[in-house]
Structure 1
Amino acid sequence: MKLVLAFHGTRDAGGLAVCAAVAAGVQALVDVPVVVAYADVLEPSVRSVVDSACVVVPVFLAAGYHVRADIPAQVAGVPGVVVTPPLGLDAVPAVRDRLVEAGVRAGDSVVLGAAGSSNALALETVRVAAQQVGACAVGYVATASPKIGEVVAGTPGRVVVASWLLAPGVFHSALVASGADVVSAPVGAHPLVIAALVQRYRSAVAARLVRAAAECQTC
């Protein structure tokens, strides 16, 4: 079954490079075609690449609007297509690694820097991610509050922002400009992220095979 990696979409060259690197990493671990599609901003859209023999894996850190509404709407009416849960909290180990790479030290005040969402469940995912990363607070770039600059300014000690973003771009630039002493790199094409996406695909295929076998037994 074809594997469709559904990204948000960005015009930032660094962000596009991350999408390509994630796709290349996933392709190296599976023996099916891997296709990159976008929920917004760019083409090809998810709608334009899905068919009845594909699994769509949303490469999103939380289940906000695009995961809960946009992508399902784009695949609606295509029989057989499977949409997996998003990457979500499986990105936490990669964020921890990015913090280490950035030079986080014992005693630092870690703040999780996220894009933000109007969806309560997406914000809850960010809260849990902050807890798992060991952050003392969360700051948002857009949509939600408190804003990252306010949180950094009100946090004592050496402040390290853990980037809860997939790729570089406008949002990550806002984290860099937040006044923090250190800002970790975005999640990017981390090997643990790639492994998690592959596992999403394989679990979806296995579940589909189980359903197909059950349907055959009732025929």
Structure 2
Amino acid sequence: MTPPSGSPGPDGTADMDSTADFDSAQRLMTQFTAQLTIQLDRLGHSSRPGSRHDVRRGGRDRPPTLVAVAHGSRDPEALRTVTALLDRVRALRPGLPVRLGHIELNQPLLTDTLAALRGEAVLVPLLLSRGYHTKQDIPDAVAAAPHLAARIAAPLGPDPLLAEALHARLAEAGHRAGVPHGAGVAAPYGAGVAGVAAPHRAGVVLAAAGSRDPDAAVDVARTAALLSARLGGVPVLPGYASGSGPTVPEAVRALAALGHDRIAVASYFTAPGRFAAQCANAAQGAGVTQCAHAAPRIAAAPLGAHPAVARLILRRYEQTLAFAPLSPPAATVGV
């Protein structure tokens, strides 16, 4: 599917002419994904050990190993978060071998994880868009392990399950979407007459790492559209910690210039780390003048070990096996 040429404008929507084909294709993909998810969920249930319909893929006694590929971070909380996420995956699919490998900065490194494995493996990047890591680093690591029959799944994003997790993290941080312009909202957004806050217009910045790869920006823009829909039409603008921008402060200012004074930052990161902290701090120091009735900005936590993310990891694993039977050489499966 060819990516759309348009990108979201300041109001969080894309140019209609440039995204008509994408909208039509997205509807078809949503229907297809829903049907596929039903089938994969049934397969996952029936393949659990002890199930009356225990499935052995192609006569295998052991399913291919799921290798979760994390980026890695010097923040110790990142490894704890990824470990908790994979514990959720194991709980959802008992009997499925799950391993972890990092691209850099943390042990175990992906190359070491693959060197220790034998047989078959499906690599699931815990990355949220296409980019250099998915196109170069991970395939290079697989190529260095010719003893494995391996396939590489698509990155986690974009996907409606990520929009669900982002919505949940925003709610946990105190964001309240769906309050129409002109309607009063209760504290904590600032006390008004009789303890009721002045009206606010909600907006969200989707804070992402950023990349020089244009495909990454396309993927983040799609997630922004999915999150906007999940929030009931609240405008969502991407903001980046690196790359060509816009930066998170620039996205905050763009929303504020349009009259959105209740602005939240959704942390589009798998786990805590330098970029996630940088984006959260930038949101508070974006340089937007706080008028008397302006709501304080909030920054949500990263996706972390949210159940929807664990389900998505298994979905990518199953999609990869469904569309590309395991056999050398390794290849990336785009979904």
Alignment TM-score, normalising by the size of structure 2: 0.59
In 1: Cα distance, 2:224 partner to 2:315 partner? 23
Are 1:129 and 2:200 counterparts? no
Check conservation: 2:73, 2:274, Cα contact below 8 A. Answer: no
Contact 2:149 2:326 in 1 (8 A): no
Q: What are the residue-to-residue correspondences of 1:172-183 with 2, within 5 Å?
A: 172-180=276-284, 181-183=297-299
- Code of the residue aligned with 1:89 in structure 2: it is P
Distance 1:80 1:197 in 2: 20
- SS of equivalent to 1:109: strand
- Which position in structure 2 is the counterpart of 1:148? 248
Q: Deviations over 1:131-160 (max 9, x none)?
A: 111143221111231111222234321211
Contact 1:153 1:179 in 2 (8 A): no
1:27 to 2:143 alignment: no
Which structure would you say has the larger Rg? 2
Aligned residues: 212
Unaligned 5+ runs, structure 1: 212-219
Q: CA RMSD in A?
A: 2.0
Among 205, 212, 215, the alignment partner of 2:321 is 205
CA contact (8 A) 1:7 1:36 kept: yes
Unaligned runs of 5+ in 2: 1-63, 180-200, 229-234, 285-296, 328-335
Structure 2 residue identity aligned to 1:168: P
Moved more, 46-55 or 69-78: 46-55
Residue 168 of structure 2 corresponds to which residue in structure 1? 97
User: Are the aligned partners of 1:152 and 1:178 in contact in 2 as well (CA < 8 Å)?
Assistant: no
Q: How many angstroms apart in 2 are the aligned matches of 1:120 and 1:52? A: 35
Q: Which moves more between the two structures, 56-65 or 34-43?
A: 34-43
Correspondence list, 1:3-42, <5 A: 3-30=66-93, 31-42=95-106
Percent identity over the alignment is: 33
Q: Which of 199, 208, 212 in structure 2 is aligned with 1:114? A: 208
Q: Is the 8 A contact 2:84 2:305 kept in 1?
A: yes
Q: Secondary structure of 2:246's match? A: coil
Q: Which runs of 4+ in 1 moved over 6 A?
A: none
SS at match of 1:81: strand
CA contact (8 A) 2:265 2:298 kept: yes
Contact 2:205/2:239 (8 A) holds in 1? yes
Structure 1 letter corresponding to 2:222: V
The one-letter amino acid of 2:308's match is L
1:206 to partner: Cα distance:
3.9
Amino acid in the other structure paired with 1:13:
P
